[in-house]
Every structure is written in C-alpha cells, then in structure tokens.
Amino acid sequence: MPGSDDPKTLVRGPVTQVDASTIGSAADHRALPSTPDHYELGEVLGRGGMGEVVLARDPRIGRDVAIKRMLIADPEGDLAARFLREARIQARLDHPAIVPVHELGYDASGRPFFVMKRLAGTTLLEVLGARQTTNRLLRALAEVCLAIELAHARGVVHRDLKPANIMLGDYGEVYILDWGVARELDAAGEVHQTVEPVSSPGTTQLGTLLGTPGYAAPEQVRGEPVGIAADIYSLGAIMFEILAGESLHPRDTAAAVASTLVAPTIAPSARALRRTIAPELDAACLAALAADPKLRPTARALADRIQLYLDGDRDVEQRRRLATEHVARAREILAGGDPEQRATAVYEAGQAVALDPESQPARTLLMTLLVEPPREFPAPLVADLQMVEDELATREARGAMFTLATYFLFLPLMIWVGIADIGQVAAVFSLVALWIGYTLIVTRTKRRFILPILAFNITTMVLMSRLVGPFVVVPGLVVAFSVVSVQQAMLGRPYLVAGAGIVALLIPIVLELAGVFERTWHTTNGAFSIQPSALRLGSTEGAIFLVACNIAVVVVTTLLSDKVAAQRRHAQQRLAIQAWHLRNMLPADAPQPTFVSGPVARV
C-alpha cells in the first residue's frame, strides 16, 4: 500500500483502502468530534501496553461494535501511524475470517482509534484446553489458512499467528485477531525486522521479537527478513498443537527460542506416540514446519491438504506402507520377549489395522495378541488384575461377615438347650466377633491374609468341638469354611485348604485322647455316645439344636457354592460376549477369536 503512515484525518464509513491523499494537516484532528459523540461506550474488553478495546454501541444503526484506541493522548512521532496501520491492513483484507473495520481516526483528545465488528466466541487457545474434536478444529484452521492466503496475495504478512489470535465464533465463524505487527512485503517479498531480548512469554511488543516464541518461524527468531513462509510455519505450529495435543515448543520464552532454533521441524506423530494421527495430516504439518522457508507450502496448499483429508481423501499407498512398518515394529517388540512391552505391540498392531483394514498380516497379529494370553503378565496388567482381586475381596468379605453374624442367632437356642460351661461358649463367640472384625478390615483395606484365615478355621473348629463334639456339625462346618477360604484368599491352593481342614478335625480328637481336653465321646459295648462339655445335649432340646445346626450348615454351604458358581458363570459369559463382539467386528476372513474357559495365570 503506497503512501505515508501518518494518518491525520478521520475516515468515516467502511474502509477498504487509505492512502496519503486522504490525510490532512497535523492539527486537524483536535477539531474532530470525540468518539463518545458517535458511540455509546461500555465496558473495557481488554487492555495492553499501548491501547485498549472498549465495547460500544452505534445508535445510528443499532449495532454493537468494538473500539480499539490508544491510551496515549496526542501521541508523538510514528506511534499513531503504527497504531492505525493495523486498522488499514485489516480494512484492506476483505475476508470473512478477518475482522472488518468500520471507521478510524482521532478523538477529541488526540487519541487514534478504529471501530471494528464486535466478536463473540472463544479463542482457539481456550478451545484446545477444552479438548474439542480434532476435525472441528481442522476445519477452522483450513479457513484461517485461506484468509492468510488472501493476506499474502495482498502483500501482507501477519507475523503473529498463534491459538490466542484465532477466535471461534459462537455460530461457526472463524476470525484472525491482532494484526498489530502485520506488515506489507517489500519489492523482494520480505519484511525486515529488529530482534532484541524478549521480555515476557506469550506477548508481542514493539522493540522486541516480533512474534510469539514457540510459534514464530526460525528465520523470524533469528531476526532475518521474513516472507509469507513465516506465517506458514506458525500455521504448522498451530496444526501440530491440534494434532498432538501439546505445543510444538516449550511455553517458556527462552526455551521456546532455543527449541525453535535447534529443532524447528518435528512430526506430530513423533511426539504424540499414543495418539492416532492420520498420516496425511502428519505429512502436511511436517511440510509446513520445514526448516527451510522455501520448502514450506503456501497457505492455500496447506488448506487444500487439510480439506482433502476432511473430505475423506486418503493416501492408500502411504497408509499401506505405514501399516507394514507398524506390523514390523510389533513383531520386533514381541521377539524381544519383554512382557512390559506387550501393550506397545498391541498398540502398533492396532495402528496397522486402523491404517490398512485390509492388511491380513496386521489383522492376524492383532487378533493373536487379543486372544492369546501372555506367558508372563506385564506389571500394568498385574496391577489391573490386582484391582479386580481387591474388589472381589471386598465383596466376599462382606458376604463372609453376614455369614459369621448368623452364629449369634444360635445363642438363644444354646441358652434354651442349657449351657454347661459358659467360658467355652464365650470363647467361641468372642472368636466369631474377632473374625467379623477381620472381615471388616478386609472390606476397608481390600487385602486378604492366608495365615489369619487358616488360624481362624482351625481354632474355630477346635472350640466348636467343645460345644457339639468333633463328630457332629463340625465336619460340615469344615466344608463350609473350606469353600470360604478358597473363595477369599487361597484360590489355586486346594491342598493347603484341605490340609487345614483335616488338622482342624484331628486336633480336638488327639487332644481328647491325650487327656488335654475332657472327653466328649465314648464307646461302650459297641455304642458310640457324645456328651459335649459346654452344652447339655442329652435331651429333646439338644436333639432339636443339633438338627438346626446341621440344617444351617447345609443352607450356608449351598448358598456359598451357588455364589461361587454364579461368579464363574458370569465371568464365562463376559468372555463369550467379548469374543462374539470381536467376531462381528472383524471381516469374515479374519482369524476368529475364542475365549479361554479356565484361569490362564495366577496373580
């Protein structure tokens, strides 16, 4: 745009171009009407080092606008020219993604101002933090690219493109903000700039690095003359952040400058290893971030590549090549034999299938990994299985707690039968109460311990033998406790559980034969009699008590067995459902998954 940067005349109405012929004398602006005479001013929307943006209403046509004005009254030198240059550049770029300028000039205090469309929406920076869908952000970026292409065609370089300077409107609009450091290209297609130490991150100031570290191109950071390729690099950095979910360079100013100079070009897929990034987008972003400005595409070319992807265009050959590479990496990982890397192998195989669903090697490898359990469980899987075990421990402990509480239902019946030794009865119920306390601890800590379980089983059986003798009720209780023990802590240790039950049955008999305990059973003339030492069972009430005890043992054992069977059935059904889902997800010629009907390992 030819002409001087010394604006001195108020320009009314839509502005498309301003040149020297529109500018009057230096003193004319003091006689012009002030801004409040034309607009009803509202709240301050934002304030920077040199200016502020104020919400206003234009009563002449009844619309809300935004007025950007300098904070300095009657500025000297070229400060006003620099300020109004932003308005003149925006006014030249008549694109839906560039905020239109309605009016510019000076107010009665000599402060330059310009009036813009009032925007409503959120910046791309805020949207990135909220993790919006990638395709929506890519569509917005494609529109930004086309607007920047228009600016480049008009000989303007923005020089400060970043997520904070892109606004997504409430109704689908996209706007490029802050053209304050934008400049026109010279005859050589370049803009010359001066670089001094950067004072603060995320800001752009006159006299400092013109641009934002982390988004500015390497040549821009070095202070070299920049052309339209500098904006392309900034667009590539924004695209990188959309795809990878993190910024290309560190947020810290000094670190961002160093990273830009040392490693300006990074593929999003190389940073976001656990994020699925389409190879077409990955390649487009990598091209925009080329260290050599001459190798970067135009803004329109970048927009076209993004739009082609959004329209469903795919590079089939590239995807097949990448799928083959993923399969090779997965097989290499499996050949290494490190169980901790199995999850990475599954991820690589999944990526291969996602890139090329028709690849038989990729499908076969993925299904093999999904169906066949690993020989050795990696630590993360062990941790997940332990969480499942802990949850089971909690549920089982609650069930055991209620089962043990039923013991106290027999206390009134024992009193009715007749208690011969209150100490032995108290010992039994004290032990049961102690065991209920232990199960409560298990529900809180989700940890089970083998030795306490075995000790409780044996001790309980010995004490119960004093109530009813070692040959009545006690064997049934041993069976019930064996079921509980296996269910709670000793799955896969049947011999240990059986051994503990046998010991629990033999100890009271041996102690009675050795004379340590009073004999509760006798054989006389071929007759076998039982006389417990703690209860009086030699009556009809005693017979009723024994029948009730045996019924309780049958009911409790049946309920426990049913619970175990139900859990097993539920687990088998879940495996069968998962296998059915996999069979229906895959093509007909893919290997069909099955499920393992038994435990594959113990944690």
**What order do you get walking across the sheet with 51-58 strand by strand?**
40-47, 51-58, 63-70, 112-117, 101-106
- d(Cα 196, Cα 68) in Å, to the nearest integer? 27
Q: Find, among 233, 305, 291, 242, the residue nearest to 268 by Cα.
A: 242
Task: Examine the residue annotation and report whether 160 is marked as an active-site residue of this protein.
Answer: yes
Q: Is residue 584 part of a domain?
A: no
β-strands 521-524, 63-70: how paired? unpaired
CA 457 to chain centroid, in Å, comes to 46
Q: Find, among 119, 243, 97, the residue nearest to 175 by Cα.
A: 97
Same domain for 422 and 359: no
Same domain for 566 and 446: yes
535 close to 542: Cβ distance less than 8 angstroms: yes
DSSP three-state, residue 115: strand
Same domain for 337 and 439: no
Q: Show the beta-strand stretches assigned E in 356-432.
A: none
Q: Is residue 15 part of a domain?
A: no
Q: Give me the amino acid identity at 339.
A: P
pLDDT of residue 48: 74
Phi, psi of 443 (to 5 degrees): -65, -30
Same domain for 219 and 81: no
Same domain for 58 and 142: no
Q: Is residue 592 part of a domain?
A: no
Q: Is residue 6 part of a domain?
A: no
DSSP three-state, residue 21: helix
Domain CATH code at residue 105 = 3.30.200.20
Residue whose entry in the numeric block shows the structure tokens 């694109």: 95
Q: Is residue 602 part of a domain?
A: no
Q: Where is the domain boundary, 60, 88, 117? A: 117
Tokens of 574: 């879940």
Same domain for 294 and 196: yes
CB neighbour class for 526 (10 Å; exposed up to 12, middle 13-18, buried from 19): exposed
**What order do you get walking across the sheet with 166-169 strand by strand?**
121-123, 166-169, 174-176
Q: Which of 37, 107, 160, 311 is catalytic?
A: 160
- d(Cα 256, Cα 221) in Å, to the nearest integer? 10
Q: Is residue 3 part of a domain?
A: no
Tokens of 107: 């107010």
pLDDT of residue 24: 34
CA distances from 532 to 31, 73, 457, 518 (A): 118, 108, 20, 9
Low-confidence ranges of the chain (pLDDT < 70): 1-37, 49, 77, 131-132, 187-209, 273-274, 393, 396, 399, 446-449, 484-492, 581-603
Domain tally, the chain:
4
pLDDT of residue 168: 94
**Residue ranges making up the domain that contains 343:** 317-371
Element (H, E) at 66: strand 63-70
Same domain for 348 and 266: no
Q: Is residue 148 part of a domain?
A: yes
- d(Cα 5, Cα 84) in Å, to the nearest integer? 8
Same domain for 79 and 159: no
- d(Cα 463, Cα 333) in Å, to the nearest integer? 58
pLDDT of residue 3: 37
- d(Cα 6, Cα 230) in Å, to the nearest integer? 27
Same domain for 505 and 484: yes
CA distances from 357 to 30, 428, 452, 523 (A): 72, 66, 54, 79
Q: Where is the domain boundary, 117, 143, 163? A: 117
Q: Is residue 347 part of a domain?
A: yes
Same domain for 138 and 208: yes
Same domain for 232 and 112: no
Same domain for 258 and 147: yes
Domain CATH code at residue 203 = 1.10.510.10
Q: Where is the domain boundary, 314, 329, 349? A: 314
- d(Cα 112, Cα 131) in Å, to the nearest integer? 39
